[in-house]
Amino acid sequence: MENLKDNFITYLRAVKNVSPHTLRAYGSDLDQFLEYWQKRGAGNLALADHRFFRRYLSHLQALNYSRSTLSRKLTSLRRFFNYLEMEGVISTNLLSSLSSPRKEKRLPIFLKLEEMLQLLDSPFYKTLLGCRDRALLEVLYATGMRVGELVALDLSHLDLERKEIRIMAKGGRERILFLNQRAVQALKDYLSTSRIELMR
């Protein structure tokens, strides 16, 4: 069985170009599963049935893993058994019909208004880099745009007179976001001083 796992990991690395981090996670998940399987003297993996997989899932839940970790472990097993089915080791992958635990929804962590204003008014922003960073934070705070959208901005996307920024949203759709006066002033300060020095 160890050979099957090693062959699977080699397949993922060579054919699917899976990242080293994911390979390590899959290897660890499969080691844990195979140890559980062998301790129960279950023998050939082709004999695994729905009842066994449900028992194993209950075993993992009893270890107090988070839902996201449980979901990943189940994904590791699904891919492994898909591989075994493809190689003819088993006839059917029973895990394909076993549902994953729902991922827990986490509330976003956010700053209070006073904390955000304190951050934006930090003395650090009197430096060249600080002036740039303040402009970035003011734009993020004023518009709520994604960091990826901010990074993709070009000067041609800015219209400071109209207090607007044009961005390309997901799906290639153009959106217009509006700036408040603080963001406009922070951008003007950055473009007229810090940017010139930092571009040298």
Instruction: Let me know if residue 106 belongs to a domain.
Output: no
The pLDDT score that the predictor gives to residue 103 is 59
Outline where the chain has alpha helix (H).
Answer: 2-14, 20-39, 50-62, 67-86, 113-120, 128-143, 147-151, 181-189, 195-198
Which pLDDT score, from 0 to 100, does residue 100 have?
62
Do the domain assignments include residue 83?
yes
Domain extent for 132: 113-198
The answer to whether residue 105 sits within a structural domain is no
In a domain, 124, yes or no: yes
In the prediction, which pLDDT does 102 show?
62
What is the rounded distance in angstroms from the CA atom of residue 23 to the CA atom of residue 8? 10
Cβ–Cβ < 8 Å for 27, 74: no
Q: What does the alpha-carbon distance between residue 40 and residue 151 come to, in Å, rounded to a whole number?
A: 53
Same domain, 90 and 174: no
Q: What is the pTM of this model?
A: 0.52
- The pLDDT value recorded for residue 120 is 77
Q: Looking up tokens 């028992």, which residue turns up?
A: 55
Whether residue 102 is contained in a domain is answered as no
Q: Mean pLDDT per 10-residue run, the chain (200 residues)? A: 90 91 95 91 78 90 89 92 92 78 67 81 78 90 88 91 88 86 93 86
121 and 49 in a common domain: no
The SS3 of residue 158 is strand
User: What integer pLDDT is reported at residue 127 of this predicted model?
Assistant: 86
Report yes or no on 122 lying in a domain: yes
For residue 137, which of 122, 157, 154, 159 has the smallest C-alpha distance?
A: 122
137 and 190 both lie in a single domain: yes
How many C-beta neighbours within 10 Å does residue 174 have?
Answer: 9
